[in-house]
Amino acid sequence: MVDLELIHDLLTPADTKILLFVLDGLGGLPVTPGGPTELEAADTPNLDRLASDGMVGLHQPVSPGITPGSGPGHIGLFGYDAIRYQIGRGVLEALGVGFDLRPNDLAARGNFCTMDAAGKITDRRAGRIPTERCRALCAELRKIELPGVKMFVEPVREHRFLLVLRGKGLEEGVADTDPEHAGAPPLEVTAERPEAEKAAELVRRFVAGARDRLAGHEPANMVLLRGFARLPDWPKFPEVFGLKSVAVAQYPMYRGVAKLMGMDTAEVGASLDDLLSTLEQVWSRYDFAFVHVKETDKAGEDGAFDRKVRVIEEADRYVPRLMALKPDVVIVTGDHSTPAALRGHSWHPVPFLLWSTTCRPDGVKRFGERWCLEGGAGLCRSEDLMPLALAHAGRMAKFGA
């Protein structure tokens, strides 16, 4: 099996640029039997032109039948094995709110919950309290004192919050306190391995403090914690692939994943125009740009087929501005499928196009799932896209003599 080390060893310098344009959750399904998917229904003359001049295919995130979250979806697109390289839930939560997580930090996802007089959980989500209330309660939790570490409690949304402990020797291995179902008391804080005992003891104090301070604050009178994790220590994308890299993304989560992989990041405004403007500003300084559009996924999650079609059509109108930057290789794809018909991520392979001057013609003239099936790249794994991009960018030497 090809791995990052093999790819790295084959790198050869070139003065070429790669653009990865991700329409989150791009892959779709028909809403009428045999009808078009969102992408097939969309009028996309510019993407069709790229598909026609380049090549198309479908990529399978993770493995057939597996529905990826945003983390594994992007990790695969970035060329990493999403099963080997997994981001802990606490870390993802931190990335999602743009928290500046550091190597000595231990992060967990928190829920406010409702506990009855007997100490049993009656609602794991505390009736989904308003985010405003979550913010106030987080301020209350910040008053808990933990010796020898810095503590951060950040509101996320509704009943969700982020807990970060910063200090030396805080190891992974603190077990979840969330029993995952109502009717049981919160689990005791335990260390799954001896190295985690220091962190576990601090978490015990936090939980005891939370119980005291939240008493009377029904429905949010207790906390549940899970996914204790630290920043992973992975090979960095720019070094592995020899690409000075930047992420241009609207949402903190995607900038966070890119940053974790060692990319520079650029924050942008809410519109596609903002996205392109930022890209245009930073493009000259980088070999690789990851550009992320979130709205396709949101439309899919909302079950809004027509809105997803419109977002794709809007993205299509920005393609000429992308091409005006004269990238040597362009990939347009999603990190996973989010069919409006399923109102969520799905396991279906994701359509992609790869444009460069070294594509072998595959006869496909349009960008869409059923046409991608006939494409020159076939059905490949998500992590195959980066080596393909590097090859088309003239950045890969021969393997073996």
Contact indicator for 288, 247 with CB cutoff of 8 Å:
no
> Shortest distance, CB of residue 394 to a copy of itself, whole angstroms?
9
Q: Which stretch binds a copy of itself (CB under 8 A): 161-169, 235-243, 302-310, 347-355?
A: 347-355
CA–CA distance, 334 with 345 (Å, rounded to integer): 11
In terms of CB distance, is 66 or 136 closer to a copy of itself?
66
Site for a copy of itself in 142-161 (CB under 8 A): none
Q: Which stretch binds a copy of itself (CB under 8 A): 3-11, 185-193, 205-213, 312-320?
A: 3-11
Site for a copy of itself in 89-108 (CB under 8 A): 89, 92-93
CA–CA distance, 8 with 273 (Å, rounded to integer): 35
Residue 10 binds to a copy of itself (criterion: CB under 8 A): yes
> Shortest distance, CB of residue 52 to a copy of itself, whole angstroms?
8
The b/e string for 77-91 (b: 16+ C-beta within 10 A; e otherwise) is bbbbbbeebbbbbbb
In terms of CB distance, is 45 or 148 closer to a copy of itself?
45
Q: What is the 8-class DSSP label of residue 228?
A: E
Name residue 20's beta-bridge partners: 290, 331
In terms of CB distance, is 295 or 383 closer to a copy of itself?
383
In terms of CB distance, is 79 or 209 closer to a copy of itself?
79
Among residues 50, 51, 82, 268, the one that binds a copy of itself under rule CB under 8 A:
82
> Shortest distance, CB of residue 275 to a copy of itself, whole angstroms?
24
Name residue 290's beta-bridge partners: 20, 247
CA–CA distance, 275 with 267 (Å, rounded to integer): 9
Q: Which stretch binds a copy of itself (CB under 8 A): 115-123, 167-175, 315-323, 380-388?
A: 380-388
> Shortest distance, CB of residue 215 to a copy of itself, whole angstroms?
31
Contact indicator for 137, 147 with CB cutoff of 8 Å:
no
Among residues 348, 352, 355, 367, the one that binds a copy of itself under rule CB under 8 A:
348
Residue 373 binds to a copy of itself (criterion: CB under 8 A): yes
Contact indicator for 394, 385 with CB cutoff of 8 Å:
no
CB atoms within 10 A of CB 126: 27
Contact indicator for 379, 58 with CB cutoff of 8 Å:
yes
In terms of CB distance, is 116 or 384 closer to a copy of itself?
384
Helix ranges, 288-384 (H): 295-301, 305-317, 319-323, 369-372
Residue 183 binds to a copy of itself (criterion: CB under 8 A): no
Residue 63 binds to a copy of itself (criterion: CB under 8 A): yes
> Shortest distance, CB of residue 149 to a copy of itself, whole angstroms?
25
Q: Which stretch binds a copy of itself (CB under 8 A): 65-73, 116-124, 229-237, 309-317?
A: 65-73
> Shortest distance, CB of residue 106 to a copy of itself, whole angstroms?
17
Q: Tokens 């990529």 label which residue? A: 59
In terms of CB distance, is 110 or 209 closer to a copy of itself?
110
Among residues 4, 23, 30, 287, the one that binds a copy of itself under rule CB under 8 A:
30
Q: How far from 220 is each of 142, 161, 214, 258, CA to CA, in Å?
A: 15, 12, 7, 34
- Report which secondary-structure segment, H or E, holds 135: helix 131-141
Q: Is the peptide bond before 13 cis (omega within 30 degrees of 0)?
A: no
Contact indicator for 223, 110 with CB cutoff of 8 Å:
yes
Name residue 225's beta-bridge partners: 110
Interaction site with a copy of itself (CB under 8 A): 1-2, 6-7, 10, 29-30, 33-35, 37, 53, 58, 62-72, 82-83, 86-87, 89, 92-93, 341-342, 344-349, 358, 360-363, 369-370, 373-380, 384, 386-391, 396-401
